[in-house]
Amino acid sequence: MSVKRKILVIDDDQLIGLTVKSILSFNGYEVCTADNGASGIEKIFEYNPDLILCDVRMNPIDGYKVLKILKDNTFNHKIPFVFISGNSSIGEVRFGMELGADDYLVKPIKTDELITSVENQFKKYNSLLEIGNKRFRALFELSPNYIFIFDGSCLFEVNSSFVEFFRIDSQSITTHTIEEILDPISYESIKDKIQRCKMGILEKFNEFVTVILSDGSKLDMAIYVSRSEKNVGYSLLLGLLIPPNTLGLQFDHNKLLKELLLSLREENITVSNQLTQRLSHVIDTVVYSRKIDLNNFFSVRELDVLQLSISGLSIKQISDKLQISDRTVERHRAHLMEKTNANSMVEVIVFAIKNDLIEL
């Protein structure tokens, strides 16, 4: 049984949203609806749609801002995006297409036009994916590093270097999980980041970990994880393992643990294996965890900058609006990204929406 294509409909007119949903559902699509731009942005990252139908005229976040946020995100920017609007003026249609929309449907929407547009977008999207997949396949197999594709837990595919290094049967790769190839402490230190990456809150991350080989031996490595291209019905992550000696890296975690153990022994304190593991876990917790106090998480000025960024204003426009320098605006934006462990303002906006840190 084939997986249904998922379509997200964003429209503040709930009647139109339900009508479009009924038409698409009848034609074999799985449909999710959102009745405003903020909810639509959140569901893009949670629902991982294969296509988005979005109304233009919505408040306070209209369809143009939704599209801009989508195009600024490296993972979701290729999702087909179709505007639906009651305005059929040439100027508005041209403006929407120049922003990067794939099509423009005018209300009232005719059933045949809706289905034709959806089918055409999927055909174009599939062609682009096929081209991208061919290029990725060449790099995937030729890389000497250990590459794996996984859903946050189970492995879906690995390259030949990974198979040889871990001595895993490539025919049964889907029975293995990322947790199996990492020691427990390393897995605990990154599992939250894996989940955040899968949800779209975090675009990518890298850490030092210890892997477990087939003979039970352990090796320190650097792991890189990022969101991969989304497949129909589900999303996957791309992982890369690199031996630290190839990067000239050293593990501060191990150095800190050794210094701590040496200090304890100098004080004639007996250190058991169990205590060593507990100390190692404490170090990981201190180094990798970020306890977030959502109360007063952003300063007043940071909230001002964030709200204006959501409104689509440029750095220059924000500085004029708040009567502060461009550099000060950039500094506030940098603080926002640092506090949320984000790589872009898009990720900051998603984080703020999910944690109710801003009023829309």
Query: According to the model, what pLDDT value does residue 162 have?
Result: 87
What is the average per-residue pLDDT within 87-104? 82
- What is the rounded average pLDDT for all residues in the chain? 79
What is the average per-residue pLDDT within 211-227? 86
For residue 4, name the pLDDT band (cuts at 50, 70, 90): confident
3-state secondary structure of 205: strand
Residues forming beta bridges with residue 222, ordered by sequence position: 208, 242
Adjacency order of strands within the sheet including 30-34: 30-34, 6-10, 51-55, 81-85, 103-106
For residue 100, name the pLDDT band (cuts at 50, 70, 90): confident
pLDDT at 289 over 50: no
CA distances from 210 to 169, 197, 241, 243, 301 (A): 21, 20, 10, 10, 41
Query: According to the model, what pLDDT value does residue 249 have?
Result: 42
What is the average per-residue pLDDT within 75-97? 80
For residue 83, name the pLDDT band (cuts at 50, 70, 90): very high
108 prior amide bond cis, ω within 30 = yes
pLDDT at 46 over 60: yes
pLDDT at 50 over 70: yes
- Record the tokens describing residue 101, joined without a space: 């929309």
For residue 7, name the pLDDT band (cuts at 50, 70, 90): very high
| Site of tokens 């404490």 | 282
What is the average per-residue pLDDT within 285-292? 44
The tens digit of pLDDT for each residue in 140-175 reads 666 677 888 888 888 888 888 888 888 887 677 878
Q: Which of 41-55, 161-175, 200-214, 224-238 has the highest mean predicted lDDT (pLDDT)?
A: 41-55
The least confident of 27-41, 123-137, 310-324 is 123-137
CA 188 to chain centre: 20
What is the average per-residue pLDDT within 239-267? 62
**Structural contact between residues 181 and 146, judged by C-beta atoms closer than 8 angstroms:** no
**Structural contact between residues 251 and 280, judged by C-beta atoms closer than 8 angstroms:** no
Convert 118-150 to b/e letters by CB count within 10 Å (16 or more is b): beebbeebeeebeeeeeeeeeebeeeebbbbbb
Q: How far apart are the first and last CA of the chain?
A: 41
Query: According to the model, what pLDDT value does residue 295 have?
Result: 54
pLDDT at 178 over 70: yes
- Record the tokens describing residue 86, joined without a space: 């009651």
For residue 42, name the pLDDT band (cuts at 50, 70, 90): confident
What is the average per-residue pLDDT within 70-83? 75
For residue 240, name the pLDDT band (cuts at 50, 70, 90): confident
pLDDT at 246 over 70: no
Query: According to the model, what pLDDT value does residue 60 have?
Result: 85
The least confident of 3-17, 152-166, 293-307 is 293-307
Distance CA 21, CA 24 (A): 5
Candidates 88, 89, 91, 86; CA nearest to 107 is 86
Query: According to the model, what pLDDT value does residue 296 have?
Result: 62
More confident residue, 145 or 137: 145
